[in-house]
């Protein structure tokens, strides 16, 4: 590592404006709120089961992490739920929880300085597939006049902006599995550079579909433990055989520190660092030496002004694939040194499955919860760790004192890498 205060190009640099997280919301296979999701994580409960929302007949993979019993009418009027893809519905529900948690009401004074950035790897794919089926089966006159906007990647951000009345920039971020983390990083930059005072950021995806299960299954990226769904996602376990496709969303409220102070908001954590990079190597496989991942993590630490030896917890990308877990372990050893053998490193994907664009946002929420409580969620199904000297928090949650710095990693198909650093307040 170079000097703690140096800034690298991958970290982009900052103007000095501190960025606080003041609220968050989540919809996941473990629950419809941060509270429900966090309680399930600490209990080591799996949200993975046999997929029953779609016809999985003939598919090689028939398991996934579904959002069950979600009632759109709790969060939005019927006209919105009729037009919005589930990924946008989950994002809107999470945004409403985040605003309530932060005590944020977007009034006419705040509106021009409030932005929205929602990351998604797949976007409204269910709506796209249904529109294509309707065109084939019923003809062009049966296509909804909203189809061209509700099947767009920015539809979740637009629904949130229209519902809350934000008038700052609203946009989508798409970098595969790193989308949620990159959206958070983009929001952080927007505040730190003075382009907004408050940004609602996060990620959402609803890609437990026949097409996506078939495609990722044919790429041999998914676990095929169809007969034992809760044991399917096995990050850092010797017997891992792939990730589990899941769905959900998480949204958080980022604020400039002085703005949060001015309205009396409680800071949950400081978003201290962000780094991003590309592998420039392969569509689905990480660089064998983890070069891109190292660049992103090192940049995030430089951006935060800390050394690897100061990290207290890592929420790993930890997908449960052969290549990712081995590469990420090597990256953590390189960047953190022997610190990696003295701190907890866990993968909450072992319980949620891989929520693609939502993953980085949900995992950052979990990282902040670790800093706030000292409780570390486990990596379930880690029966035989690939690195016995690393504490992957197998099976059961652990409590650790003096948790001050957390690192959250997100590495995606296409070679996208993003890392976030949060600091306790």
DSSP state of 37: H
How far apart, in Å, do the first and last CA atoms of the chain sit?
25
Of 319, 311, 387, nearest in space to 348 by CA: 319
Q: Which of 101, 287, 354, 416 is catalytic?
A: 354
d(CA 394, CA 209): 30
d(CA 130, CA 190): 35
- Read off the tokens for 242: 């792939």
Q: Which of 177, 207, 233, 382 is catalytic?
A: 177
Sign of CA dihedral 165, 75, 185, 172: negative
CA angle centred on 225, ends 220 and 230, rounded to 5°: 125
Report CA 112 to chain centroid distance, whole Å: 27
Which DSSP string do the residues of 133-155 spell out, in sequence order? Answer: HHHHHH-GGGS-TTHHHHTSTTH
- Read off the tokens for 416: 């996208």
* CB contact set of 121 (below 8 Å; sequence gap of 6+): 174, 175, 176, 177, 179, 205, 207, 356, 357, 412, 413
Instruction: Verify whether residue 207 is a known catalytic residue.
Output: no
User: Containing H/E element for 181?
Assistant: helix 179-192
d(CA 402, CA 371): 8
Report CA 421 to chain centroid distance, whole Å: 14
- Read off the tokens for 102: 């932060």
Q: Are strands 19-27 and 247-256 parallel, antiparallel or unpaired?
A: antiparallel
Instruction: Verify whether residue 193 is a known catalytic residue.
Output: no
Number of neighbouring beta carbons within 10 Å of residue 287: 22
Sign of CA dihedral 184, 190, 194, 197: negative
Q: Which of 294, 317, 382, 416 is catalytic?
A: 317
d(CA 94, CA 109): 24
Instruction: Verify whether residue 317 is a known catalytic residue.
Output: yes
Active-site residues: which are they?
177, 317, 354
């Amino acid at each position: 590592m170079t000097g703690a205060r140096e800034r690298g190009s991958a970290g982009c640099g900052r103007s000095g404006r501190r960025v606080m997280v003041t609220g968050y919301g989540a919809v996941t296979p473990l629950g419809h709120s941060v509270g429900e999701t966090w309680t399930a994580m600490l209990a080591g409960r799996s949200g993975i089961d046999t997929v029953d929302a779609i016809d999985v007949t003939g598919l090689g993979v028939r398991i996934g992490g579904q959002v069950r019993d979600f009632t759109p009418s709790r969060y939005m009027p019927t006209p919105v739920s009729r037009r919005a893809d589930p990924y946008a519905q989950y994002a809107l529900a999470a945004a409403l929880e985040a605003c309530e948690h932060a005590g944020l009401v977007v009034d006419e004074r705040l509106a021009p300085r409030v932005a929205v950035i929602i990351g998604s790897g797949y976007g409204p794919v269910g709506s796209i597939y249904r529109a294509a089926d309707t065109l084939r089966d019923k003809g062009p006159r049966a296509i909804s006049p909203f189809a061209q906007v509700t099947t767009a990647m920015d539809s979740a951000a637009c629904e949130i902006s229209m519902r809350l009345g934000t008038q700052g920039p609203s946009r989508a971020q798409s970098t595969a599995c790193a989308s949620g983390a990159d959206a958070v990083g983009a929001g952080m930059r927007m505040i730190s550079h003075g382009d907004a005072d408050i940004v609602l950021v996060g990620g959402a995806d609803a890609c437990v579909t026949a097409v996506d299960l078939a495609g990722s299954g044919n790429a041999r990226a998914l676990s095929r433990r169809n007969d034992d769904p809760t044991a399917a996602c096995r990050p850092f376990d010797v017997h891992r055989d792939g990730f589990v496709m899941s769905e959900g969303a998480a949204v958080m409220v980022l604020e400039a520190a002085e703005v949060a102070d001015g309205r009396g908001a409680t800071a949950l954590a400081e978003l201290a660092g962000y780094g991003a990079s590309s592998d420039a190597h392969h569509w689905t496989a990480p660089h064998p030496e983890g070069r891109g991942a190292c660049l992103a993590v090192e940049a995030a630490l430089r951006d935060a002004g800390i050394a690897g030896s100061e990290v207290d917890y890592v929420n790993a990308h930890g997908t449960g694939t052969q290549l990712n877990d081995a590469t990420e372990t090597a990256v953590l050893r390189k960047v953190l040194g022997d610190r990696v053998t003295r701190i907890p490193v866990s993968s909450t994907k072992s319980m949620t499955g891989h929520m693609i664009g939502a993953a980085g946002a949900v995992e950052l929420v979990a990282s902040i919860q670790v800093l706030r409580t000292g409780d570390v969620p486990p990596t379930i199904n880690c029966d035989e760790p690939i690195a016995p000297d690393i504490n992957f928090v197998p099976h059961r949650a652990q409590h650790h004192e003096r948790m001050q710095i957390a690192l959250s990693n997100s590495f995606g198909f296409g070679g996208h890498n993003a890392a976030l650093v949060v600091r306790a307040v």
